[in-house]
Amino acid sequence: MRYCESPFFYHRRTTREVVIGDPARGGVIIGGDHPVVKQSMLTCDTMDTAESVRQTLDLVAVGCQLVRITAPTVKDAANLQNIVAELHKRGCFVPIVADIHFKPEAAMEAVKWVEVVRVNPGNYADSKKFATKEYTDEQYTAELKRIEEKFTPLVLECIRLKRCLRIGTNHGSLSDRIMNRYGDTPLGMVESALEFARICRQHNFHNFKFSMKSSNPKVMIECYRLLVARLEQEGPDWNYPIHLGVTEAGEGEDGRIKSAIGIGSLLCDGLGDTIRVSLTEDSPREIEVCTDLLAQVASLTVKRLNGDLVKSGNSFNDLTRYSFNSSTFPFDPFHFERRKTPEIELAGGVKCGGEQLIRVVVPRATWDKVAPKIRSKDDVKPEAVYEDLNVAEIDPTKDFDINCETQLVTVKDGVELPAISVFRLLAARLKCLGRNNPILLKDWLVGVQPSGCPDRLKPELQLEPKIALLRASVVIGSLLADGIGDAILIRGEAGGGQSLRLAYNILQAAGCRSFKTDYVACPSCGRTLFNLQTVTARIKARTEHLKGVKIAIMGCIVNGPGEMADADFGYVGGAPGKINLYVGKQAIKFNIPEAEAVERLVDLIKEHNKWVEPELVTVGESH
């Protein structure tokens, strides 16, 4: 199976075109050769027509091309008529996506008024009660028949009204039926979506796209790769567009890093026709990140194999020979496994490779800035200085030889290939040589100028911080998600402290290290039962010192228990003003008044021996 044309050069996946709304009046065409479309979602109550219109206009003003609105009930779905009518009065014809969970009848109402209906196969006609049941083939077939009966009326209405569908599975809301047959796996997500697609195709309906969302970037990447590979196996006319997103990514740097890893990696491989960066922030800020991310991906990909980028005179000039050949392919695209390497010492007793943590290396200039401020007990600290390392700098586009597997290797600056491509190539060529040398990753290569940077960029003349963050996250995060890399070096961020923190944040977002509390936080929507931004800030203020603890903050139950299944604790809206607290995916405390809920969460953490008192920082002491 293959999921893209090549892991070394960019070739956008060929998909059928799907027309959403009237392109002459604000509608969009997705797929084909059309640019990737930016999407976001309203955070207000769908019954508040005026606020829904205001938020939609604010999103359109900053470049949003698809606006999603939740419709949890038939009443909410019916009010979409008023929202759309008011938008049209104001000359706004942006396509609206109705977000449906649990209630097919709400979908049947929403399809009357909006251009797209999003359904989640995990809860549209199936259920999730974390029940264990073995299905015979006959029982499984009977359940599929029941789902077809529930879903077909919506498909027929989409055909009649010329609407679109998004078949969107979520890692956190796979049905019990799918879980019991496939487990909590990417395969389960893909098969769940394909069941609904087959029903669409039975009625010759093809106006739909897929999504495979998870709060874990590595899981999300695996799911989309597997989906595309399975679609290719099904046949050339299964070339449906794809929507990309990391769900419950959170806020601030963490949310941007997780999204850049998941979305950016797939975009660089040519996958994705619409995107959403889900942040626990005001929705217009998501569009800014989408725009910046798309710009970075454009500068991180190579679109040809020869010519100026790979000189014909080189002994290595055909990347295709390393594409999807099991003996030479640099990683398993469908199952994460860290590349096996020997353990070596970097410096001062710090080891990398083997089962060691992925290490953080800094340039000498950064070391000089941050070293005087580092305390021995600090978790965020440089572990080696690049200039002091015994590292072999290799140009993998040319023949090379490594005589010793305990030699740390990296890509030589100035190699005229994008960083993701060339590090994958390094891993592939080492594999062909039978070598497993540990690899030091760089976020970009000096001498290969990032888009928009002055010629011959010097290390001290770095990128704008928000761009440096996205670039490093896409490059380093993508490679870590491939299982490649034993140490990392960030050079695109000018500030010494900021670059060091960014390196650790990328490692945590990629699931490689844990140096602080990890949060899974959904963006707000009309289903949310409390103010997510305010509550998230309160929870962080009380718990951000709990290294290694993972806390999920969910506005409602839609993706709650499932999406936070690997979290230690969960804070979930259960009813207006009422919070349910979870340990893992098990609800422990119910209907706690919101005013008490944060402290009750702290009590729950203490009960499970995960609490430590925050360290008091002495006046004048710095990190």
Q: How far apart are CA 28 and CA 32, in angstroms?
A: 12
Do 46 and 121 share a domain, yes or no? yes
With tokens 């969960």, the residue in question is 570
Q: Of 44-58, 76-90, 100-114, 362-376, which range is least confident?
A: 362-376
Do 259 and 363 share a domain, yes or no? no
59: which 2 tokens?
């999103």
Do 484 and 443 share a domain, yes or no? yes
Average pLDDT over residues 603-612: 95
* Domain termination residue (choose one: 476, 509, 542): 509
Do 498 and 558 share a domain, yes or no? no
Do 389 and 462 share a domain, yes or no? yes
Q: How confident is the model at residue 585 (pLDDT cuts 50, 70, 90)?
A: confident
Q: Of 243-247, 520-524, 606-610, which range is least confident?
A: 520-524
pLDDT at site 129: 63
**Position 314 in a domain:** no
Do 169 and 271 share a domain, yes or no? yes
Q: Is the pLDDT at 586 greater than 70, yes or no?
A: yes
Instruction: Tabulate helix, strand, coil % of the chain (nearest 5).
Output: 40, 15, 45
**Using one digit for the tens of pLDDT, what is the confidence trace for 205-244?**
999 999 999 889 999 999 999 999 999 999 999 999 999 9
Do 87 and 143 share a domain, yes or no? yes
CATH of the domain at 603: 3.30.413.10
Q: Of 152-156, 274-278, 318-322, 348-352, which range is least confident?
A: 318-322
Sheet of 578-583: strands edge to edge?
Answer: 518-521, 550-554, 569-575, 578-583, 586-593
pLDDT at site 318: 58
**Position 351 in a domain:** yes
Question: Is-contact 168 120, C-beta < 8 A?
Answer: yes
pTM: 0.91
Q: How far apart are CA 363 and CA 384, in angstroms?
A: 9
Q: Is the pLDDT at 452 greater than 60, yes or no?
A: no
Q: Is the pLDDT at 455 greater than 50, yes or no?
A: no
Q: Is the pLDDT at 168 greater than 50, yes or no?
A: yes
**Position 312 in a domain:** no
Question: Is-contact 551 517, C-beta < 8 A?
Answer: yes
**Position 614 in a domain:** no
**Position 225 in a domain:** yes
pLDDT at site 122: 87
**Position 291 in a domain:** yes
Average pLDDT over residues 319-341: 83
As for how many domains the chain has, the answer is 3
Do 246 and 365 share a domain, yes or no? no
Q: Could you tell me the residue range of the domain that residue 351 belongs to?
A: 337-509
